[in-house]
Amino acid sequence: MENLFFGLDLSTQQLKLTVVDENSKVILEESVNFDKELPEYGTKNGVIANGNIITSPTLMWVAAVDRLFTKLQSVGFPFRYVKAVSGAGQQHGSVYWRNNAANILANLDPSQSLVTQLSNCFSILDSPTWQDSSTTQECRQLESIVSGPEMLAKLTGSKAYERFTGNQIAKIYRHNRQAYDETERISLVSSFLATLFLGKYAQIDVSDGSGMNLLNIYTKEWDNRLLEACGGSELRQKLGEPEKDGFKIIGKISEYFIKRYGFDCECMILPFMGDNPSSLLSLRLESGDIVISLGTSDTVLLLTNQADPNTESHTLCHPIDPNTYISMLCYKNGSLTREYIRDVYANKSWNKFNEILLSYPHPHENKIGFYFRIQEITPFAHGIHRFVNQELVEEFDDPKYNARAILESQFMSMRIRTEKLMSDKEWKRIIAIGGASENTEILKVLTDVFGVDVWRYSGKNSAGYGAALKALMTTFRNANSSSSMSDLFMIADPSSENTLIYERMLNIYQQLELRVLNHNQI
Ligand code: ADP
Ligand code: XUL
């Protein structure tokens, strides 16, 4: 039997696993969907929403690991061939380990599930997630410490954002001090998952650490002033030091996994990463490539040699290359808002949704909508707003047009902001990843808005695949073997007629977006 490599991905709606062999071929993809397979935790789309407080039960994530491995065991998966494990997690989310949890982690009984044994290990039971936007006050306070949003962005790669972990920690530090004091360690979702496999606390990798508003993205160390502001002098110890070496073997798999599932005792654990950075590891990128992820969130990802942070995007450290940075735009109204429009106007069916798209082969230049069903990040707006000939309307005269209008609106916003990020550089190709990239009709609108070809990744889960490739690369790094990365296929090329229409619409779109923002402030 060949050598196998695991890439896990703890995302918003599911825990996913990608297994590759030593030729980087995907031999298995498995997942646990939180709503469907762990209904006892009461999540909808993986989270519990209470106004702008959006959390996931930490124990549900633990139970998902139990469930995933039980599934693999029940089909006789040969765990003993797994040489290395890495993984990814939704960015920004945080886990609060209660005092004495390290001791429990180190002494797990392999005859019992993780969820039974870890049930008392968390001082905060519901982990804040990337969808949370309840920390505006903490954000403004943090920015004032370093004389404003621009300075915070220059230092940490981003101005203060509600979902960024430093601000989430500050909220707990100020409003739930008892729980904070009972916390011995704070993990990100990625380092939390790594911790379960190590049986001891895993460090936070710099790609995920740069989504916290706490890390100096140049020195890749925590910034003392920011730590102090968010969690006092104890925060450094609670976080542990960031891990700069993405290829470091951070330990061997724990006794628990060896005894319960039959892993080899030499199986290595590598740092787990943020899901967006991890996805980039799965792709062989060329100059002029833009990666657009259409998952629960939508993100635009660009590689850059120089960090040039601004207040409209994020600059993240690269998970394995110390000389590269990632520029990222992130939208909360991604797949779930598209699903909402599908449910209202297309009978809950992607086929029907696509039929509607096909019935409008060209954009209607005079119709523009904004679909911020939940509080958006960029722009910081909410609500659904439709305009016909620049007049605000309740609904389009042909309501089905919403199916096309939402895509146009999402992609025009990306194009306007990507143009700013790339300044004078030319974009040549879009690589689409994430759940909605399965839908070719959606990608046809994307290609028309940007005016370049769209390529698609062939597998299901790019973040898990990127992590599995890292595990493979580490194992063979000394043997000079490199992985082959994912196959990409060209899937859509632009209609120049449509691209010209969108180019005319971009200006009006920006003016209307300002009106939406002003309207939100009333
Ligand atoms: P995660 O953020 O959990 O990693 P995925 O990348 O797996 O999410 O994306 C999940 C989303 O993909 C779902 O919420 C769903 O709306 C979307 N999706 C899946 N199939 C399609 C499709 N055929 N058309 C449009 N969207 C789709
Ligand atoms: C990125 C972000 C989301 C999550 C989704 O900043 O908030 O893309 O990483 O898992």
- Cα of 297 from ligand 2 centre, angstroms: 6
Pocket of ligand 1 (CB under 6 A): 11-14, 295-296, 335-336, 339, 350, 434-436, 438-439, 442
With a 6 Å cutoff on the Cβ, whether 164 touches ligand 2 is no
User: Angle at Cα 45 formed by Cα 42 and Cα 47, nearest 5°?
Assistant: 60
Burial class (CB in 10 A: 0-12, 13-18, 19+), 48: middle
Residue of minimum CA distance from atom 7 in ligand 1:
435
The phi and psi torsions of 316 (rounded to 5 degrees) equal -115, 150
Q: Which residues contact 116 (CB under 8 A, 6 or more apart)?
A: none
Q: For residue 190, which ligand has an atom nearest its CA?
A: 2
pLDDT of residue 522: 61
Beta pairing partners, 422: none
With a 6 Å cutoff on the Cβ, whether 90 touches ligand 2 is yes
Beta pairing partners, 299: 293, 330
User: Angle at Cα 134 formed by Cα 132 and Cα 136, nearest 5°?
Assistant: 120
For 432-450, b/e burial (b = at least 16 CB within 10 A) is bbbbbbebebbbbbbbbbb
Token pair recorded at residue 397:
């005269």
Is the Cα dihedral 209, 212, 218, 223 positive or negative? negative
- The mean per-residue pLDDT over the stretch 37-51 comes to 98
- Cα of 64 from ligand 2 centre, angstroms: 20
| pLDDT tens-digit series, residues 310-321 | 999 999 999 999
| pLDDT tens-digit series, residues 175-220 | 999 999 999 999 999 999 999 999 999 999 999 999 999 999 999 9
Secondary structure letter of residue 21 according to DSSP: E
pLDDT of residue 312: 93
Please report the atom of ligand 1 found closest to the CA of residue 13: 3
Question: Which residue bears the tokens 């309501």?
Answer: 399
pLDDT of residue 478: 47
| pLDDT tens-digit series, residues 49-87 | 999 999 999 999 999 999 999 999 999 999 999 999 999
pLDDT band for 437, please (50, 70, 90 cuts).
Answer: very high
Helix/strand/coil percent split, the chain, to 5:
40, 25, 35
Q: Which residues contact 15 (CB under 8 A, 6 or more apart)?
A: 8, 9, 31, 32, 34, 61, 64, 65, 67, 68
Token pair recorded at residue 422:
């790339």
Answer for the pair 157, 309: CB distance below 8 angstroms, yes or no: yes
With a 6 Å cutoff on the Cβ, whether 130 touches ligand 2 is yes
State the average pLDDT for the chain.
96
pLDDT band for 88, please (50, 70, 90 cuts).
Answer: very high
pLDDT band for 149, please (50, 70, 90 cuts).
Answer: very high
- Cα of 436 from ligand 1 centre, angstroms: 5
Number of H helices, E strands in the chain: 20, 24
- Cα of 328 from ligand 2 centre, angstroms: 10
Dihedral of CA atoms 16, 482, 26, 252 in degrees, nearest 10, equals: -50
- Cα of 433 from ligand 1 centre, angstroms: 10
Dihedral of CA atoms 188, 191, 192, 198 in degrees, nearest 10, equals: -170
Please report the atom of ligand 1 found closest to the CA of residue 460: 7
Residue of minimum CA distance from atom 26 in ligand 1:
436
| pLDDT tens-digit series, residues 266-304 | 999 999 999 999 999 999 899 999 999 999 999 999 999
pLDDT of residue 484: 55
With a 6 Å cutoff on the Cβ, whether 213 touches ligand 2 is no
- Cα of 300 from ligand 1 centre, angstroms: 16
With a 6 Å cutoff on the Cβ, whether 172 touches ligand 2 is no
| pLDDT tens-digit series, residues 465-511 | 999 999 999 887 644 444 456 678 899 999 999 999 999 999 999 99
With a 6 Å cutoff on the Cβ, whether 161 touches ligand 2 is no
Write down the pTM of the prediction.
0.96
Using CA atoms, how far residue 221 sits from 210, 242, 276, 349, in Å, is 10, 7, 21, 47
User: In 226-360, which ranges are E strands?
Assistant: 251-252, 268-269, 273-274, 289-294, 298-304, 314-317, 325-331
Secondary structure letter of residue 243 according to DSSP: B
Sheet holding 391-393, edge to edge: 367-372, 383-388, 391-393
CA distance 175 to 183: 14
pLDDT of residue 457: 82
CA distance 324 to 321: 6
With a 6 Å cutoff on the Cβ, whether 332 touches ligand 2 is no
- Cα of 90 from ligand 1 centre, angstroms: 15
| pLDDT tens-digit series, residues 324-365 | 999 999 999 999 999 999 999 999 999 999 999 999 999 999
With a 6 Å cutoff on the Cβ, whether 91 touches ligand 2 is yes
pLDDT of residue 475: 83
Which helix H or strand E contains 82, and what residues bound it?
strand 82-89
- Please determine, for residue 450, whether its predicted confidence score (pLDDT) is greater than 70: yes
Collect contacts of 360-364 with beta carbons under 8 A, ≥24 apart. 360/401, 360/404, 362/497, 362/498, 362/501, 363/404, 363/408, 363/448, 363/498, 363/501, 363/502, 363/505, 364/401, 364/404
Q: Which of 12, 90, 328 to mutate to test the pocket of ligand 2 (most atoms within 8 A of CB)?
A: 90
Residue of minimum CA distance from atom 23 in ligand 1:
439
Residue 408, Cβ neighbours under 10 Å: how many? 25
Q: For residue 130, which ligand has an atom nearest its CA?
A: 2
Question: Which residue bears the tokens 């120089």?
Answer: 306
With a 6 Å cutoff on the Cβ, whether 275 touches ligand 2 is yes
